[in-house]
Amino acid sequence: MKNIKLNNGVEMPILGFGVFQMQDMAECEQAVIDAIETGYRLIDTAASYMNEQAVGNAIKKSGVAREELFITTKLWVSDAGYENTKAAFQKSLDSLQLDYLDLYLIHQPYGDIYGSWRAMQELYQEGKVRAIGVSNFHPDRVMDLITNTGFIPAVNQIETHPFHQQKETQKFLEDNNIQIESWGPFAEGKNDIFKNEVLTKIAAKHNKSTAQVMLRWLTQRGVVAIPKSVRKERMAENFNIFDFELPADDMNSIQTLDTNESLFFDHRDPNMVKWLSERKLSR
């Protein structure tokens, strides 16, 4: 497993495991146990996924030493602000049954993110979290956060897959020494991505699946990827991407699939106000 180095020197696996849409606690717990057994060391959850407890149970049962794992969770919008962030962090830590986190992200760029960021810097300085970052922040919001606080996020987790490649954003993040992390590396299967003709041809050439090609393409570009699956055979498939390399012509062919548009939500869409108001977490 390859690790990358964050801007504070902390090492993070380039490939991890995501647990969004695993609402069934038993299923989530088993999936995380299976993922760790497969070899994944980075687990990506969020308070809003409502499964931190199951992830924590799985970590305990896995038998893998805590320091070998890299655990990420995220602060939800309704917990924004200094005091709320401190309380939400402790709640997440308790649910995960951990005494420190590896990465804590502001999940969405809404609410009092400056208060949140101040609280997160303190948690970082107290050693309760090894790195702090953001998610779904457009470059202008990243710039705003940095210029207002002077503290550079370690990571920005954003939608990144062959149909939405985020090349300009990646350059902006790299220029500012911020690690890009892909959510939805398979676009959740939308637009028949697993059967895409360009990807299928490349996959056949390398005797790999289209899923493996997508993950190889991301990680070869220096993007951290966190695919989700509840099936153990797919976890193994998605993990098995370090024994081949995509040559420049394949990388260039995949570039042609970019639509430069989100397949999920545009954060500047006015419907986001309603969407967010329907997703309040109870503390």
Ligand X SMILES: NC(=O)C1=CN([C@@H]2O[C@H](COP(=O)(O)OP(=O)(O)OC[C@H]3O[C@@H](n4cnc5c(N)ncnc54)[C@H](OP(=O)(O)O)[C@@H]3O)[C@@H](O)[C@H]2O)C=CC1
Ligand Y SMILES: O=C1CO[C@H](CO)[C@@H](O)[C@@H]1O
What amino acid positions are annotated as catalytic residues? Answer: 49
Among 11, 20, 118, 262, binds ligand Y (CB under 6 A): 20
- Residue 44 contact among ligand X, ligand Y, none, beta carbon within 5 to 8 Å by kind: ligand X
Question: Residue 221, interface with ligand X (CB under 6 A)?
Answer: no
Can you tell me the distance from the alpha carbon of 66 to that of 74, in angstroms, rounded to the nearest whole number?
19
Sign of CA dihedral 14, 23, 98, 156: positive
- How many residues touch ligand X under the rule CB under 6 A: the total is 26
161 in a known ligand binding site: no
Nearest to 170 by CA among 129, 207, 225, 222: 222
Can you tell me the distance from the alpha carbon of 224 to that of 3, in angstroms, rounded to the nearest whole number?
9
Of 88-96, 112-120, 198-206, 225-233, the window that binds ligand X (rule: CB under 6 A) is: 225-233
Can you tell me the distance from the alpha carbon of 258 to that of 263, in angstroms, rounded to the nearest whole number?
11
- Residue 185 contact among ligand X, ligand Y, none, beta carbon within 5 to 8 Å by kind: ligand X
24-53 positions binding ligand Y, by CB under 6 A: 46, 48
Nearer to ligand X, 21 or 83 (CB): 21
Three-class DSSP category at 244:
coil
Nearest to 105 by CA among 89, 83, 94: 89
Residue pair 218/254 in contact (Cβ under 8 Å)? The answer is no
| Amino acid at position 254, single letter | I
Q: How far is the CB of 125 from ligand X (least distance, A)?
A: 24
Residues 78, 81, 82, CA angle at the centre, nearest 5°?
Answer: 140
Question: Residue 160, interface with ligand X (CB under 6 A)?
Answer: no
Q: How far is the CB of 105 from ligand Y (least distance, A)?
A: 10
Closest residue by beta carbon to ligand Y: 20
Can you tell me the distance from the alpha carbon of 89 to that of 123, in angstroms, rounded to the nearest whole number?
9
Structure tokens at 194: 């697993």
Among 57, 92, 135, 179, binds ligand X (CB under 6 A): 135
Specify the residue for token string 């992830």.
55
**Can you name the residues that pair with 3 across neighbouring β-strands?**
13
Nearer to ligand X, 181 or 250 (CB): 181
Q: What mask of x and - would describe binding to ligand X in positions 26 to 65, judged by CB under 6 A?
A: ------------------x---------------------
Of 54-62, 119-127, 187-195, 269-277, the window that binds ligand X (rule: CB under 6 A) is: 187-195
Nearer to ligand X, 49 or 124 (CB): 49
- Residue 95 contact among ligand X, ligand Y, none, beta carbon within 5 to 8 Å by kind: none
Question: Residue 238, interface with ligand X (CB under 6 A)?
Answer: yes
Rg of the chain over CA atoms, in angstroms?
18
Distances (CA, A) of 231 to 65, 207, 224, 228: 24, 21, 21, 9
Contacts with ligand X, residue ranges (CB under 6 A): 18-20, 44, 135-136, 157, 183-189, 194, 209, 211, 226-231, 234, 237-238
Contacts with ligand Y, residue ranges (CB under 6 A): 20, 46, 48, 107
